[in-house]
C-alpha cells in the first residue's frame, strides 16, 4: 500500500495579504483533500495570516527556513520557538536555493532539522543534484552526503520523524522535470539508503518529488512507487493548479 501522500506548496518570496487571502480561503474551502496531507510553506511574515485563514481546515502551514540559533543577537533571523507560537507543522531545510544563494551547507541543513524536531515541527529535508553533478554521474554520491549530514545531526532514532524531498536542482523553476523513471530511480535509492539504517523508517518515510511539478506532469510522477507526493513551487501560487496537483496525488 502507498504511504499517505503529502503535497506541500513552497511559495518562496511571493505573495501579498490580498493575494494570499484568496489562495488560503480557496484551500480551506476546497473538497477532495481529506485523503492526503496538504500544506503551504509561506514567507514568515504571512504566518499569522496562514494560521488565521487555515486554522479551521485540514490544510497545514509551514515555513521555508529557520535559524539554527535559539535566541539572541541574530538580526533578521527567526527561531524555532517563534515558529511554535504559530502552530507551524513543517519547515523546509536544505532547499537548493538556500544552499546555492545563501551558502548553506549539508551540516547546517542537519542542524536546522534537529532544531525543528526539538519543537515538534516536521523538517522537510531537501536533497538533489545539479545538472553538472548529474552529468558527471555523481547524483547518488551527492544525495548520500546530503542525507548523511542530516542523519548525523538528528540521530537515527529520529529518521521516522522527517519528510524527505528529492529536488533535482536542474528541474527547479526551469520547466524541466525529471522523468517519472528518473524520479523513481532516485527515490528508490533514497529509500534504500534509509533502509540500511532503519527498515521501519524506510517503509514509513515520505519522499516528495519537487522541480517544475505541474498539473500536466504530476500524475505520472505521483504514480511511482517511491514518490509520496510533491513539493510544489510555482504551481502552488495558482489555486486551481495547486488543487489539481493535490487531487492527482490521491
Supply the minimum distance, in Å, between the C-beta of residue 10 and ligand PGA.
4
Among 99-107, 129-137, 188-196, 211-219, which window interacts with ligand PGA (CB under 6 A)? 211-219
Q: DSSP characters for 44-111?
A: GGGHHHHHHHHTTSS-EEEES---SS-SSS-TT---HHHHHTTT--EEEES-HHHHHHS---HHHHHH
**Contact, 237 vs 243, CB < 8 A?**
no
- To ligand PGA, the closest distance from the beta carbon of 23 in angstroms equals 15
| Residues tagged active-site | 95, 167
Q: Does 139 contact ligand PGA by CB under 6 A?
A: no
Out of 54, 150, 232, 245, point to the residue binding ligand PGA (CB under 6 A): 232
Distance set, CA 239 to CA 19, 46, 115, 117, 161 (Å): 10, 17, 32, 30, 29
Name the residue among 242, 187, 250, 181 with its Cα closest to residue 213.
242
91 is an interface residue for ligand PGA by CB under 6 A:
no
Candidate residues 15, 62, 94, 234; the one interacting with ligand PGA per rule CB under 6 A: 234
Segment interacting with ligand PGA (CB under 6 A) among 51-59, 128-136, 182-190, 227-235:
227-235
Residues engaged in binding ligand PGA (CB under 6 A): 10, 167, 172-173, 210-213, 231-235
Amino acid at each position: 500500500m502507498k504511504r499517505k501522500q503529502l503535497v506541500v506548496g513552497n511559495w518562496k518570496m511571493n505573495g501579498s495579504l490580498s493575494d494570499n487571502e484568496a489562495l488560503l480561503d480557496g484551500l480551506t474551502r476546497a473538497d477532495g483533500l481529506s485523503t492526503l496531507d496538504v500544506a503551504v510553506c509561506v514567507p514568515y511574515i504571512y504566518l499569522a495570516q496562514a494560521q488565521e485563514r487555515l486554522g479551521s481546515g485540514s490544510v497545514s502551514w509551514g515555513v521555508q527556513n529557520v535559524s539554527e540559533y535559539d535566541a539572541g543577537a541574530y538580526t533578521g533571523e527567526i527561531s524555532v520557538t517563534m515558529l511554535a507560537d504559530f502552530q507551524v507543522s513543517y519547515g523546509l531545510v536544505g532547499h537548493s536555493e538556500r544552499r546555492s544563494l545563501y551558502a548553506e551547507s549539508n551540516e547546517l541543513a542537519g542542524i536546522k532539522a534537529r532544531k525543528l524536531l526539538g519543537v515538534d515541527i516536521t523538517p522537510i529535508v531537501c536533497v538533489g543534484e545539479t545538472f553538472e553533478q548529474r552529468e558527471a554521474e555523481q547524483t547518488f554520491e551527492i544525495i548520500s552526503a546530503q542525507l548523511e549530514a542530516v542523519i548525523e545531526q538528528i540521530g537515527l532514532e529520529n529518521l521516522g520523524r522527517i519528510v524527505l524531498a528529492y529536488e533535482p536542482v536542474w528541474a527547479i523553476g526551469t520547466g524541466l522535470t525529471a522523468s517519472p523513471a528518473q524520479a523513481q530511480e532516485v527515490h528508490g535509492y533514497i529509500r534504500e539508503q534509509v533502509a540500511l539504517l532503519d527498515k521501519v523508517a524506510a517503509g514509513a518515510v515520505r519522499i516528495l518529488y519537487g522541480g517544475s511539478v505541474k498539473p500536466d506532469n504530476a500524475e505520472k510522477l505521483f504514480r511511482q512507487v517511491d514518490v509520496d507526493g510533491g513539493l510544489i513551487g510555482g504551481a502552488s501560487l495558482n489555486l486551481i493548479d495547486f488543487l489539481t496537483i493535490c487531487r492527482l496525488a490521491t
